[in-house]
Structure 1
Amino acid sequence: MKSNIYFRLFFVAIIAGLLAACSAASPEDDKQARLEKLKKDQVALTKEIQKLEAEIAAANPDAATSVRAKEVSITALAPRSFDHFVQTQGLIESDNNVLVSAKTMGVVTQVYVTEGQSVSKGQVLAQIDNSVIVTNIQSMEAQLELAKSVYERQKNLWDQKIGTEVQFLQAKTNKESLEKQLASLREQNEMAKIKAPISGTVDEVVVKVGENISPGMPAARVVNASDLKLAAKVSEAFVTTIKKGNKVIVSIPELKKDIEAKVTFVGKNIDPLSRTFNVEINLPNHPDLRPNMTGTIKVVFNTEPSAIVVPVNVIQTVNNEKIVYVAENNGKQTVARKKIITVDGVFNNLAQVQGLKAGDKIVTFGYQGLSDGEVIKI
């Protein structure tokens, strides 16, 4: 009787221990463990299925149609020209974009141009009041005429040895002095005319009739858009690769087309803050180009004439190796083969690679989840 009681107590203790052990593990841990086990089982099953499918296909080619194939798209590789470039933003500038200012002070009496008008170099854009100067010029011209007449008379007398040398020299000095004063007045009169320093188009007229203007104050802006350049900054990482004469593809959004040009200037100084250097590209004449427009430039520093290029998105990284899949024939089947590659450069979503050859049929769609030797359908 006692033995039965002891047995029952022992059995109850075991059951309690088991219940305690089961309660010790949380439901979340149990689910996580089950999930990890199922994932491992799935990988093992997938590999086993692929292995059996390949063995069946090899042993019985006629049964190939019974093996499920993954649908993919392929592209046959061919050598092509491939540009290595650096891309950056730039701003269109013009050396012939001039804000014209006055050289003397006074009241503006005339404005001869309007915005959008074409002007030539030296053309008068506006006139500053010069009435006092004109009066002085007229007075000086009259004095000079008299001085010239006196000088001619004294010269004739001196040539005949009549009179004194002092009288002749005084007449000569007086004439020359008046000539210099008159030249100075005429120069002041020219300074009262605001002239175009370059040929081009009047982009802005600032000054108005009746305004008082002084030296340095802007009067008008003249722009010549026939000589434009694009200035940009490039990272110092390319300081040894960007050279004068490199081909450049300029993309201006407003023009909706690309312009081909060349690098015309490469700066020698590295900006200590941005760690960049300046480059400039002379632009061809185009009626729609304007100063201060922005554009994207691609400076081509290397061109491979015969490169193997693939879309960058088809390259996968597995175990620290770059791989792609190519389609190969295996009897009556087409299978995916893993190819290990090296990437020489990525530009414009394309990658130049080593490890592939012309004619390889690279998988460009459906490559995710492929395995080496897996049967595919094109």
Structure 2
Amino acid sequence: MKTVLVSLIAISLLLACGSDNSELAEKKQQLKTYQQELKSLEDQIATLENEIAEADPSFAQQTQKTTLVTTLPVVKKTFEHYIEVRGSVTSRKNITISAEAPAMVTTLSVSEGESVRQGQVLVSQNGETIRRNIQELQTSLELAKTRYDRQKNLWDQNIGTELQYLEAENGVKSLERRVASLQAQLNNYIIRAPFSGTVDEIYVREGEIAQPGVPVLRLVSLTDMFIEADISEAFLGEFQRGDSVDVDFPSLDKSLQSTISSVGKVINQNNRTFKIEVKLPNDMDLLRPNLLSVLRIMDYQKPDAIVVPTKLILEDAKGDFLFVAKNAEEGEGKVAGKQHIDRGQTYNNETVISEGLQGNETLIDKGFREVAEGVRISIATEEASNLSLNK
């Protein structure tokens, strides 16, 4: 009984598969028939179009396929060309201070980050030897003054000689000069702030020997700051003091407009550049020495220039050209035409056209790489171009 049941199931499956294969084969044959009929219709349409076109040339223009493009007018405006260079913020009051005399540091009167006033004591050194010499000289000076006073009284009474009086006077003046000299030397053992600012770094500690020419501390003032930049010698003579400069600080995400305050007169023989300086305001937050900046300086300007997007300029054997939309010579509609041009300065993806355009042309924009000379075009609206063109 089981054997009979299995046999019946197998026969049913074979019949079902046979039915499916027969239906699929029939559909394939029908598709083949339709394709043959479509090919025959296309051949007949092509034959009729050719026959009609021979009898009516305007019909050929009407049936010619068009390329979908967008257009834009030629723009006349003031064109400006800028060069961009990197600069560094510099302060005229960013200095390292060294000792004037070799001596041990006895007192550090300031700490790093502390604001100080002009003339404030920063560091004191051991000047005990000079102090003692001053004390000894002052004792001698007091005695010399006493001798001078007595000799003067005698001289006023016509007692004694003039030579004795002059020697006493000279002795006082000589000791006074020596005391003043030692006082000046003693001042070299005290380091004072030459201007108001902030103590940025201290390089010595109390008890160490400070030597002349070796930095003791760094003093910085965030006033009187400027930007220093190197400009290629190719731009020599292009910039003058007072020229406008756009300044960007990438780290601060800030910009400002300033002017050139100084133009260097010497060419650096190592990198063939000259220096310019650009003013900075004293009240700008977060300005620091060595801060990176980008300078945009205008080196060329042309009013009423014909300007086109640089990407639209192509090149062939004759030179640079643009595709413009022209009226078709036969029939209605527009065709693409080559307009050869001479290009001028280029900046910020725009190019000045020095020859070849009058300023009233219509340029082919989106789709300009898909057209050729004489190809019929259809101009899309902005909405259609967003949907149909992605070139």
The residue type paired with residue 338 of structure 1 is: K
Show the counterpart of 1:321. Answer: 319
The one of 296, 301, 306 aligned to 2:294: 296
The residue type paired with residue 147 of structure 2 is: V
Would the alpha carbon gap of residues 364 and 154 (structure 1) be closer, same or farther in structure 2, given more than 3 Å must change?
farther
Show the counterpart of 2:369. Answer: 368
C-alpha separation between the residues in 2 aligned to 1:308 and 1:163? 103
The residue type paired with residue 165 of structure 2 is: F
- Structure 1 residue ranges without an equivalent (≥5): 1-54
1:257-268 to 2 correspondence within 5 Å?
257-268=254-265
The residue type paired with residue 156 of structure 2 is: D
What value does the CA root-mean-square deviation take over the aligned residues?
Answer: 2.9
The one of 136, 148, 162 aligned to 1:151: 148
Would the alpha carbon gap of residues 71 and 116 (structure 1) be closer, same or farther in structure 2, given more than 3 Å must change?
farther
Show the counterpart of 2:353. Answer: 353
C-alpha separation between the residues in 2 aligned to 1:361 and 1:112? 75
C-alpha separation between the residues in 2 aligned to 1:73 and 1:183? 89
C-alpha separation between the residues in 1 aligned to 2:263 and 2:228? 10
C-alpha separation between the residues in 1 aligned to 2:217 and 2:148? 46
- Rg larger in 1 or in 2? 2
Show the counterpart of 2:230. Answer: 233
Shift, 1:60, TM fit: 6.4
The residue type paired with residue 123 of structure 2 is: A
Would the alpha carbon gap of residues 146 and 280 (structure 1) be closer, same or farther in structure 2, given more than 3 Å must change?
same
Normalising to structure 1: TM-score of the pair?
Answer: 0.76
Q: Deviations over 1:337-375 (max 9, x none)?
A: 332222110123221113335554433322113223431
C-alpha separation between the residues in 1 aligned to 2:103 and 2:307? 69
Shift, 1:254, TM fit: 1.0
Show the counterpart of 1:44. Answer: none
Q: Deviations over 1:185-241 (max 9, x none)?
A: 211121101122232221111121111112112111111222222222222222242
Q: Deviations over 1:260-306 (max 9, x none)?
A: 22233333333334233333323333222222222222221222233
Q: Is the 8 A contact 1:231 1:280 kept in 2?
A: yes
Counterpart of 2:174 in 1: which secondary structure?
A: helix
C-alpha separation between the residues in 2 aligned to 1:257 and 1:343? 34
Show the counterpart of 1:72. Answer: 69
The residue type paired with residue 59 of structure 1 is: S
Q: Deviations over 1:115-152 (max 9, x none)?
A: 22222332211111123323333333333233223222
Q: Is the 8 A contact 2:75 2:308 kept in 1?
A: no
The residue type paired with residue 188 of structure 1 is: Q
Show the counterpart of 2:181. Answer: 184
2:157 matched to 1:160? yes
1:100-111 to 2 correspondence within 5 Å?
100-111=97-108
C-alpha separation between the residues in 1 aligned to 2:311 and 2:262? 36
The residue type paired with residue 293 of structure 1 is: L
Shift, 1:160, TM fit: 2.2
Show the counterpart of 1:19. Answer: none
The residue type paired with residue 287 of structure 1 is: D
Q: Deviations over 1:49-88 (max 9, x none)?
A: xxxxxx9x99369x96x76443333333433332223332
C-alpha separation between the residues in 2 aligned to 1:325 and 1:114? 70
The one of 82, 87, 93 aligned to 2:84: 87
> Deviation above 6 Å: which 4+ runs of structure 1?
none
The residue type paired with residue 342 of structure 2 is: T
Which segment drifts farther, 104-113 or 356-365?
Answer: 356-365
Show the counterpart of 1:338. Answer: 338
C-alpha separation between the residues in 2 aligned to 1:192 and 1:148? 29
C-alpha separation between the residues in 2 aligned to 1:327 and 1:181? 96
Counterpart of 1:79 in 2: which secondary structure?
A: strand
The residue type paired with residue 143 of structure 1 is: S
Normalising to structure 2: TM-score of the pair?
Answer: 0.73
Show the counterpart of 1:309. Answer: 307
Q: Is the 8 A contact 1:247 1:301 kept in 2?
A: no
Counterpart of 2:144 in 1: which secondary structure?
A: helix
Q: Is the 8 A contact 1:246 1:301 kept in 2?
A: no
Q: Is the 8 A contact 2:71 2:379 kept in 1?
A: no
Q: Is the 8 A contact 2:261 2:278 kept in 1?
A: yes
Would the alpha carbon gap of residues 127 and 159 (structure 1) be closer, same or farther in structure 2, given more than 3 Å must change?
same
1:191-202 to 2 correspondence within 5 Å?
191-202=188-199
Q: Deviations over 1:303-359 (max 9, x none)?
A: 223322222111111223211223456686344333222211012322111333555
